[in-house]
Structure 1
Amino acid sequence: MLLRSTLPDPSSAKPGTHPSGLNTGMRPLWVVVLASFWIATVCNVALWRTLARLPDLSSGQAITVSVALALVIGLATAGLLSLLAWRWTLKPVIMLFCVSAAFGAYFMLAYGIVIDKTMMVNTLQTDLRETRDLLNWRLLATVLVLAGLPCVLLWRQHIRLQTSTRQAVSNLAALLATCALLVLVLVLFFQSLASVMRNNTQLRYLINPLNSFYALGSIAARPFQRDESAILPLGTDAKLGASYTAQARPPLLLLVLGETGRSGNFAVNGYGRPTTPGLAKENIASQRNAWSCGTSTAASVPCMFSNFGRANYESRPANYEGLMDVLQHAGLAVLWLDNQSGCKGVCDRIPNADTSQLKVPGLCDGGECFDEVMLHGLDERIAALSAERRAKGVVVVMHQMGSHGPAYFKRSPAAFKKFLPECTNNSLQSCEPQGLVNAYDNSIVYTDHLLTSSIQWLKAQESQNAPAMLYLADHGESLGENNLYLHGMPYSVAPDVQKRVPWITWLSPGFEQRSKIATACLQRQLDAPISHDNYFHSVLGLMNVQTSAYQPALDIYAHCQTGVPPGQP
């Protein structure tokens, strides 16, 4: 006699149910709530720290605003996660949120930065060499605690499954509930939140990880704002001016594009430490009131080589060619040498070379090359350019690694470590303040060596050329002032040290004669307010390139020919 089992057939169990017939496991809604609570509280410690330090908030107000913001962040995060609370997406999406929040929390805590569109562009354009400089045990520990722990618990947690229809209804209900609660919180705390957020705009960039996702969304939306693939021509009418008529010696202009240069740390600008002993012996003009277009390489370099200026660059209707293209249109020989992470599109249409991967003994022994490598073989690189163009004039750009952080100690060879002890840790908050400044100042000492070596190389070309050099940094740097490190803060709230940059000009006697620009004249205007907006037009003016894209009023050198102060029409 066959006996029929009274136990349910496991194969007949509904999806998401235990073979015993019980629907077990945690509901997706509770998983979303717990994950949102973790992210809104623990992962936003950088936000809470900043709120606690606001001088215009009492302790009671800070607590009230913190609670309100935690509710807003938690509800907004829960609303987003409820849209993705499906069987195959819930765990991966929550893990993505946690990992993003962990990395964001570390960098905001360690360097005092905020995360906006510019910072996200920097992140996406970071190369392997720069990434290595950011890795340390503090980063690993932060990610393991903030992301590793919840991800492991989530992965091991059994989630109660539902049919697609019931899950859709549940997700919709959760979304509507979170939206309603979010509106209620905003109404109840509107006055407190509006006042604080209006007076401290940087707070919006600390809301983690929604700041990162918003920044990525803004970047992804760019193609809908303008066609990023098309590069429209600029300065195709460019021609060489009267100084090129029957010239005996063509001009040779060296544009040194600095990286992370703080104007205030250059001794030639009044700094109390001898960071620029070589430049002090040269006949230069060092502008003390120059300002950057942005606070990062990705923002500043394309902007300063364009003719739009800071106010109009982001809202430009299309992408256009830049300064190097106009110089090439005029018939000059141009060359871009890069010892950094690329030219950000500025050199894509002209001859260029990457020197960061060379293997020159003594200059490239530590996994990267010191900036002096760009002078190595420079004569041969120029000789390889078009002879017809070289006969008219040459413009060479050298893009430095400069003072790129956080590993400032890597930016200077041992022979140039004038200030000791220096910080050799890329976790800057663990450095002694003086050791951090020493490491940074040593990088300026080496930049001084590069610039004076470049001037000596230019002097050696005087028999064949009329040489000149212009050095300008892309942005500045924070070295712990107000607990801020590195750069990349939104321009409106960035401290001056991230925006004030060195601008140094050296002209040979031959270049002064052909351009009618005297260094002595420039030295009488060292405190005139100038910016990256002047760069495009000033270089064209130095090279006497005539084009409708050139605006004489923005040429800082034109006043020494016309008598009109820089920046005035």
Structure 2
Amino acid sequence: MFPLKCLLAWFRPDTTRPLSQVWLAALWMGLLANWPLWRQLHAMPDITPVFIIALAGMVVCATGAVLSLLAWPRLVTVALVLLLLGSGALAYFIGSYGIVFDPTMVTNLVQTDVHETRDLLNWRLLLSVALLGALPALWLLRRPRAPAQAAAKRLGGNLAGFALGIAGMVLLALLQFSTLSSTTRTHKQLRYMVTPLNAVYSLSAAAVRSQRVPAGPPAVIGADARLLPRAEGTKPPLLLLVVGETARAMNFSLNGYPRPTNPELQKLQVLSLRDVTSCGTATAASLPCMFSPLGRTEFLKLEAAQENLLDVLQRAGLAVLWLDNQSGCKGLCDRVPHAFTKDLPDGALPLPPGLCTGRECFDEALLHGLDQRIAALDPERLKRGLVLVMHPMGSHGPAYYKRSPPDLKPFQPECKTNALQHCQREQVINSYDNTIATTDRLLARSIAWLQAQQAHFDTGMLYVSDHGESLGEKGLYLHGMPYAMAPREQTHVPMILWMPEGGTLAASLKPGCLTGLRDKPASHDHLFHTTMGWVGARADAYRPQWDLLAACRR
């Protein structure tokens, strides 16, 4: 009778016991919350139903094994409720946008502000959280408390549950080893789709990574920063550095895109580089990397905070100003003057009507009150030159329709929801292309402002986006894929240069040389050094071979 009673206990578990609860939760989350994974596997022509069933068993066993270690009365309920609610949210985002949840995505999540979070909310997300998370969590909270049990006995049961899960996972993996190894090697993103293990791993990895960063100020770079002497009578440089958001190069008509997304820039003498690669696939990864002198390969090896381009330029004696219409500068502007458009309507610089709605402003607000802001900077530094950085909202999704003003929506009909997968793809592209047209106008008006400063400065502009965007290609939306497996849509970014023909910099370059840069490979690695060379700043961190303009100087 004893074996029969044990067998019946598996089918009718005591749901007051923490160990039973974690295995029921593992079954629920492993099978239901992973529906995006099962859907993707089902769409692969070389994947059999037998393998999908075996993988589902592996996921349940692995989840049950991990959760068995948490099966303690005072811990299990809180842990399972959080995991269930998180699994419901992850299932929606992975299933809707094709994203993966890795440590980089955790960093993005931590640095997302309330406005970006609001853009992601909709009733489909709430429904997913309610059905996959809140419903089983409510059932769990209504369970009576299990009878007291000796700690040693409970520990033994938890370890047995862990061992059982590992054994089941290994057995199933061995039965499908050849298919499993080839599938995970070819489709690496699948490992970050296993919910909630992806969250457990990524949160742990991000926490460990954050603890490695020593406390204290960032390490100094460019301690010998200085300005090259200017010829008598020449004007100080004014470089406008526009760090775009979520713009992909392939949607710029300057780069051959058939739709007229750059009608205003097409009329100006700008140089668009067509083969530029980003440091990362998300703002939190790209911004610190592109402002570093190290280049992507060495930057990824950093284990301590380090100063950036803005610190070096300021140390050289230049005036530096960061203006932000985004979620922040990711720490880059902490030691230089900076301001945010959302803080502009304070009475001192009232914004024109329609430029802001609520606490969000269109990117053109970055140009408002520029003269007053520059006049407030250190006059001695301004005599040496100014680097002005603008960080616009650009093409930030998924609510692309919010990024373009009502009078600048040339491509219709557009997708007017953040649930992109429920719009026709043409509508998604229309709403995205409207954001590119909005960026086009921002850059053209920025150039007009720069032209008005030529009486006092030798002006110029460099625009580059932080990363690209997926618009439904291969079922992917938005950005943030692990770099090694990211599609080109997320890493191929636009870079645009403008300098007046009569300026000092233009006169110092070989005639026609810049045109040769148009199709030459470039990357975010060049930003630090090109900026330093542009404004005539030097330091031991400067590498002339990474200065895009160095080869063109006379």
Q: TM-score range by the shorter chain?
A: over 0.9
CA 1:421–1:371 in structure 2 vs 1: closer, same or farther (change >3 Å)? same
Of the three residues 401, 406, 410, the one matched with 1:414 is: 406
The answer to whether the 8 Å contact 1:461/1:467 transfers is: yes
Matched, 1:139 2:125: yes
1:530-549 to 2 correspondences below 5 Å: 530-549=522-541
Which residue number corresponds to residue 44 of structure 1?
34
Instruction: State the TM-score, normalized to the length of structure 1.
Output: 0.91
Of the three residues 110, 113, 116, the one matched with 1:127 is: 113
Distance 1:320 1:354 in 2: 23
Match for 2:117: what amino acid?
A: T
Which residue number corresponds to residue 361 of structure 2?
369
Of the three residues 172, 187, 199, the one matched with 1:212 is: 199
CA 1:128–1:48 in structure 2 vs 1: closer, same or farther (change >3 Å)? same
How many matched pairs? Answer: 535
Stretch moving more, 27-36 or 374-383: 27-36
Distance 1:215 1:72 in 2: 19
Match for 1:492: what amino acid?
A: A
Which residue number corresponds to residue 493 of structure 1?
485
Can you list the C-alpha shifts for 1:144-191, whole angstroms capped at 9, x where unaligned? 110011111111222432323332222222222223333333333322
Distance 2:202 2:528 in 1: 29
Distance 1:153 1:413 in 2: 46
Match for 1:483: what amino acid?
A: G
1:323-472 to 2 correspondences below 5 Å: 323-359=309-345, 360=351, 361-472=353-464
Matched, 1:557 2:549: yes
Give the superposition deviation at 1:98. 0.7
Of the three residues 68, 88, 91, the one matched with 2:74 is: 88
CA 1:180–1:327 in structure 2 vs 1: closer, same or farther (change >3 Å)? same
Distance 2:502 2:185 in 1: 55
Can you list the C-alpha shifts for 1:285-316, whole angstroms capped at 9, x where unaligned? 10000110000100000000001211122211
What is the Cα-based RMSD across aligned positions, in Å? 1.7
CA 1:327–1:442 in structure 2 vs 1: closer, same or farther (change >3 Å)? same
Of the three residues 3, 12, 21, the one matched with 1:31 is: 21
Give the superposition deviation at 1:69. 2.2
The answer to whether the 8 Å contact 1:284/1:519 transfers is: no
Can you list the C-alpha shifts for 1:463-513, whole angstroms capped at 9, x where unaligned? 111100000000011111111100101111111111111100000234344
Matched, 1:524 2:516: yes
Distance 2:275 2:420 in 1: 28
* SS of the residue 1:218 aligns to: helix
Distance 2:295 2:546 in 1: 10
Matched, 1:195 2:185: no
- Segments of 5+ residues of structure 2 without an aligned counterpart are 1-12, 346-350
Which residue number corresponds to residue 285 of structure 1?
271
Give the superposition deviation at 1:25. 5.6
- Segments of 5+ residues of structure 1 without an aligned counterpart are 1-22, 563-569
Of the three residues 258, 262, 265, the one matched with 2:248 is: 262
Give the superposition deviation at 1:427. 0.3
Instruction: State the TM-score, normalized to the length of structure 2.
Output: 0.93
CA 1:348–1:69 in structure 2 vs 1: closer, same or farther (change >3 Å)? same
Distance 1:518 1:452 in 2: 25
Match for 2:22: what amino acid?
A: V
CA 1:104–1:454 in structure 2 vs 1: closer, same or farther (change >3 Å)? same
Distance 2:402 2:52 in 1: 40
Match for 1:315: what amino acid?
A: K
CA 1:186–1:539 in structure 2 vs 1: closer, same or farther (change >3 Å)? same
Match for 2:469: what amino acid?
A: E
* SS of the residue 2:84 aligns to: helix
Stretch moving more, 127-136 or 82-91: 82-91
Give the superposition deviation at 1:548. 1.0
Distance 1:223 1:441 in 2: 37
Which residue number corresponds to residue 164 of structure 2?
177
Distance 1:53 1:229 in 2: 50
Distance 1:25 1:194 in 2: 36
Which residue number corresponds to residue 89 of structure 2?
103
| Stretches of 4+ aligned residues off by more than 6 angstroms | none
Identity of aligned residues (%): 48
Stretch moving more, 535-544 or 451-460: 535-544
Stretch moving more, 466-475 or 362-371: 362-371
* SS of the residue 1:143 aligns to: helix
* SS of the residue 1:287 aligns to: strand
